[in-house]
Structure 1
Amino acid sequence: MARPQRIFVCQSCGAVAARWQGRCEACGEWNTIVEETSDNTGIGSGPQKAARGKGRQIELVAMSGESADPPRLESAIAELDRVLGGGLVPGSALLVGGDPGIGKSTLLLQAMSALSNRGHDVVYISGEEAIAQVRMRARRLGLAETDVQLGAETNLRDIISTLESGRPPDAVVIDSIQTMWTDALDSAPGTVAQVRASAQELVRFAKKNGTAVILVGHVTKEGQIAGPRVVEHMVDAVLYFEGERGHQFRILRAVKNRFGPANEIGVFEMGALGLTEVPNPSALFLGERDGGTSGSAVFAGIEGTRPVLVEIQALVAQSALGTPRRADLAVASALVSSITGNPLPAECVIFGEIALSGGVRPVSQMDARLKEAEKLGFSSAIVPAGAARPDAGGALKLTGIGDLASLLAHLATSDDTERASRDA
């Protein structure tokens, strides 16, 4: 029996070294070299050494032949299908990465539910959450009645045995690849060896059974999918889900796609009921633009195959400070109150974003802000003009402000009214 070979593998980039060392020469990370045992018999070890002899002949075809386009599983989520090049390809492997809490699981749960509603057999395997937690999210998103099959498991052998026990599903989500492990290796889940072996076995399952397999990957502090880069080479497409958790907009970007254009983007908005599509991002970026102010220009750019129009603002002003800034609406109101010596109404809340041009623009989750203010006993609110809808605010009295000049006029009028009432 062959003696197991000892190798030293970087847990950050997957580079193999002949001996242990404190710093990886490939990626420069410190204390990431871990000793592993390779006996060339486990999953991910590659083809076994066979007896020497003649191999079988393979079929060679002409370049000029015709090939049919691969079939697609359309999810009815247009922005997702756009990034994928028209939908999921049966037998393909897809890797989705993004920061924790950015919405990867929400997006994929919505996509699986949409495929299920179209009659496809789909499975969602969670290695990080219990079944009750996934069901709780599904109820919050209004997806509890869909026919998505759920599983909570990290043992790769059990997962693949379950998927192959009957008719292979049309699509499978593995959330996440870093939690999967195989007993063919001694290393812990999340290590380079386990991630590489698990991904290889799942890709093999996808190709063998014609199932579209979607792998969720964690992202490192550098913004790259954790684990060896070889995993990105194994799969057919790599998508990154980008955005700030404090803001409602998300961008799904394809950095690799064997079945469609790379660098394509899809835009989503995170709300109380999950992610909704933003089919026209240009209208979103330009919706509050005031063409009558100086220091504003519109840039026409290209993201993938999609033209995107974005407003660029510039402000030049005399200031004794090195970096003059604009404040938001509440801070501006407090500054006006301090300068004039007139207090703001105690029962009034104020929010909004001031652009460099002086215009007041809406902020995220305005309905939630107004609801909380009403719950705490406030009776009025000064909000951006676009948020002062008749159906917004509930019992609150809303005052829409379009720019700083309107804010100053409103606060002066309020001061005069309050002074007159005190004198009376």
Structure 2
Amino acid sequence: MIRHITPWRVVLAGLLLGVGALVLAVLVELRGAPLDTEGPPLTVTPQLVERGAYLARAGNCMACHTERGGATYAGGRAVPTPFGAVISTNLTPHKATGIGRWSAAGFWRALHHGQSQDGRLLYPAFPYNHTTLVTREDSDALFAFLLDQPAVEQASRPHALRFPYNTQAALALWRALYFKPGVFQPEPTQSAEWNRGAYLTRGLAHCAACHAERDALGGSSEAQAFRGGLMPAQDWYAPSLRSASEGGVASWDTQQVVALLKTGVAEGASVMGPMADVVLHGTQHLNDADLRAMAVYLQALPQQAPKPVDVQTADPQQMVRGEKLYAQQCAQCHGDNGQGAAGVYPRLAGNRAVTLETPHNVVQAILGGGFAPATAGHPRPYGMPPYRTLLTDKEVAAVASFVRQSWGNQAPAVSGLAVQRLR
């Protein structure tokens, strides 16, 4: 006799199976990956250290693991997240407070599995969901470079995370949902140059750590990679690298992309905000072959269709006010018609950073100023002063709305409330 199974029972059974699978995955994460201690000890040579130094710059490791004004790689920097601050650790070879007692296998496990030498699960502010792609050979080179640094005695401060995000159980749940270890596998249908660019961009350079949308738990997926997103706790928007209207470079000349990564400026483009730090401490130090490989990979990203944007027209009085402020504060550099000055001041007419659907970046530039990185190819860039103390919220909104809706620009108007929230 066949019994009819009611739909709610099917749903309940599915939920129970799903919860059971998730609990099992969490338990596996808490147990952790074994520490592979097989193989000969790491032999540190000058060549290996030099290679590791290059890879450390590719990953911009110093940016997070160096406190402002502190010793290089000694940690102590607070990395803001929506769940509290994660404090970076000491990567110098100090035996008590750094990684002096670590093994090459332990360092590899940190990069590949996101676990510390003692087996603790690491927080994904350390981007192990990207560094998991790094090869063991490159991991060993990075480790050799860090062992060659001056040992600095600086104990790691505890993280400032709220409950329950400060627990290993919560972290294990996050990993079960969002993390899967895996070394980079070359794509046989692509060129060696494309594969090198994919390895750097998706791995050590961890570009998608910023250029991807994240959910309420701070997680993302491969499908969201390079599609752009708001940077957690920083109030900057990392534009989509899959969209010509945001940050996509598919239609650019490859050398133009290389120039932007190497110098911070290119024909019709420049970097600022968090991306300026990436160029300053990271990409400007890479060789042209690797920069070209990254450019080739980024240009080959599948492009998404432009999203329809509901352009809310600014109030006429707001536009009048914004035009007056622009003439007083901005036109001297950016031009009466937003044309800028080639190689000196960026144009605002047709500028993708200005016409993004979200006003975060243009408002942040007005409040905090705009500063391109000083690079070997562009050693003395001009900067834009901050107007945080000079303009009110409504004035910032007015001038932002004016530049977003003038000279052919079409982007939603900005409200004083939106500026207040970003301020």
| TM-score category (smaller protein) | under 0.3
Greater Cα radius of gyration, structure 1 or 2: 1
- The structure that is strand-richer by fraction is 1
TM-score of the pair, normalised by structure 2:
0.27
TM-score of the pair, normalised by structure 1:
0.27
- The structure that is helix-richer by fraction is 2
